[in-house]
Structure 1
Amino acid sequence: MKLATLQAELPNFKIRLLTLKDQAELMQLEQSNPEYHRYFSPEPLTVEEVQRDLTATPGEVATEQKQVFGFYLAHHLVAVLDVLNQYPQEQFLFIGLLMVNQAYQRKTVGKVIVTGLMQAALKSNVVCLQLTRVTADTGVKNFWEGLGFEDGDQLFLPLTHGDRLAVTTMFRPLK
């Protein structure tokens, strides 16, 4: 996904690609959503986890396929969108993470970002958006369903402390 294509669809935001230099800012955003982190670990969020959020990809995905977009309003990071281009198939875009700062939730920020992403994806010849959500998080399920996403398969992610987390894939065809 080209940054310019996404920026053109979302002119009210200043959007830029986040790097390891932005980890402190991303840490603050992620700390504003402690419930999300608790699904993955009983321990407090660490800098190492934030670094992984900025860099980690599934084994078969090249690092250049990953992009982490930061969305700014009045010079404040209000949301992050992590995507994998051409994953799991060539004309797909996988949403690894969409997180909105808690202070901006339920104010249409997430909906506006995803709607702009869908328009930018169409212009980039993407035919389907896909994501994986925590199955138990019904608020997230409702958010994505409200944007036309449908449930797919349920999977179980192994967690570092030995448990497994139930997740559900969701998809939305664009054409």
Structure 2
Amino acid sequence: MKLATLQRALPDFKIRLLTLQDQDDLLALENSNPTYHRYFSAQPLTLAEIQADLTATPADVAAEQKQVFGFYLANRLVAVLDILNRYPQERFLFIGLLMVNQAYQRKTVGRVIATGLMQAAKQSGIDWIQLTRVTADSGVAAFWEKLGFTDGDQLYLPLAHGERLAVTTMVRPLN
């Protein structure tokens, strides 16, 4: 996804690719949503986890396929969008994370970003958007369903200490 294409679709935001230099702001944003992190770990979120999240990809994905966009309003990071281009197939875009700062939730920020992403993806020749959500999170399920996503397979992510987390894939065609 080209930054310029996404920026044209979402002109009310200042959008930029996040780097390790943005880890403190990203940590603050993610800490504004403590329930999400608790699905993965009982321990507090750390800068090391943020650093890993900025660069981590599945084994079969090249580093250049991953992009982490920051969305700013009044010079404040209000949302993050982590995507994988051409994953899991060529004409797909995979959303690894869309998180809105809690202070901006339920104010259309997430819906506007997701809608703008779909518009930019379609303009970029993407036919499908896929994501994986925590199965137990009914609020997230309802958010994506309102945007036309449908449930797919249920999977289990391995966590520390042999635990597993149930997740559900969701997909939406763009044509």
**Structures share a fold, TM > 0.5?**
yes
User: Structure 1: how far apart are the matches of 2:48 and 2:89?
Assistant: 29
Which whole-Å CA distance do the structure 1 matches of 2:52 and 2:174 have between them?
29
TM-score, scaled relative to structure 1 = 0.99
1:157 and 2:163 are equivalent in the alignment: no
Q: Deviations over 1:111-151 (max 9, x none)?
A: 00000000000000000000000000000000000000000
What's the CA shift for 1:162? 2.0
CA separation in 2, counterparts of 1:32 and 1:21? 19
Give the alignment of 1:1-175 within 5 angstroms: 1-175=1-175
Distance, in Å, in 2 between the alignment partners of 1:89 and 1:45 is 31
Q: Determine helix, strand or coil for the equivalent of 1:40.
A: coil
Distance 1:31 1:11 in 2: 27
Counterpart Cα distance in 1 of 2:149 and 2:69: 21
Amino acid at match of 1:106: R
Deviation, structure 1 residue 161: 2.9
d(CA) in 2 for partners of 1:70 and 1:160? 28
Unaligned 5+ residue runs, structure 1? none
Q: Distance in 2 between matches of 1:26 and 1:6?
A: 20
* 2:28 alignment partner, SS class: helix
CA distance in 1: counterparts of 2:50 and 2:162, whole angstroms: 20
8 Å Cα contact 1:41-1:161 kept in structure 2: no
Does the 8 Å CA contact 1:9/1:116 hold for their aligned counterparts? yes
Structure 2: 5+ residue stretches without partners: none
Of 153-162 and 119-128, more deviation after overlay is shown by: 153-162
Report SS of the residue matched to 1:23: helix
Instruction: Report % sequence identity.
Output: 75
Question: How far apart are 1:160 and its partner, in Å?
Answer: 1.7
Q: Distance in 2 between matches of 1:15 and 1:151?
A: 29
| Greater than 2 Å deviation, 4+ residue runs | none
- CA distance in structure 1 between the partners assigned to 2:85 and 2:123 by the alignment: 14
The whole-number CA distance in structure 2 between the counterparts of 1:100 and 1:162 is 30
Specify the code of the residue in structure 2 equivalent to 1:89.
Q
**TM-align CA RMSD:** 0.4
User: Contact conserved, 1:150 with 1:172, CA < 8 A, in 2?
Assistant: yes
Number of aligned positions between the proteins: 175
